[in-house]
Amino acid sequence: MKKAASKSRKSISTHPSRTASKRKLTGKSQANGLGKKAPGAKDKVITWELRLYVAGNTPNSIAAFSNLKQICETHMGGRYRIEIIDLLRNPQLASGDQIIAIPTLVRRLPIPIKKIIGDLSNRERVLIGLDLKPARLPAMG
């Protein structure tokens, strides 16, 4: 029988159904030149820090993780870290980011902090929410 993850943050997992209560996933391609540059920084590419709050191995949790991983690989050029937080194992962690619904994605970096609730299946909404795509202005008329 495996012990649950200790309070130190364990890293690199690819599926939210693993037994650890906190996991990190880091993007694979590190130097393809994509991503946003920090204002005033010379050739420094921002690494996106994302937290996905889930409740166990539910269909919505699995869908949210899968959708997030696809979006990250497609639009962040491998420059991201995903931390999965299972609130069934550590419910006290919900208060840190003021989580009121699950699944919830929290973009910690780049600032400002942003939150997106749901299974992340509406790709356009997620891209706009993460500032990866500009929001469309309503038609005037």
Q: Identity (one letter) of the amino acid at 123? A: R
C-beta neighbour count of 92 within 10 angstroms? 7
Alpha carbon distance 104, 54 (integer Å):
7
- Residue range 22-79, pLDDT digits in tens: 555 555 433 333 344 445 444 466 789 999 999 999 999 999 999 999 999 999 888 9
pTM: 0.66
For the chain, domains (ranges, CATH) are 22-27+44-129 (3.40.30.10)
The tens digit of pLDDT for each residue in 85-133 reads 999 999 999 888 899 999 999 999 999 999 999 999 999 999 999 988 8
Distance CA 104, CA 110 (A): 17
Split at pLDDT 50, 70, 90, the class of 15 is: very low
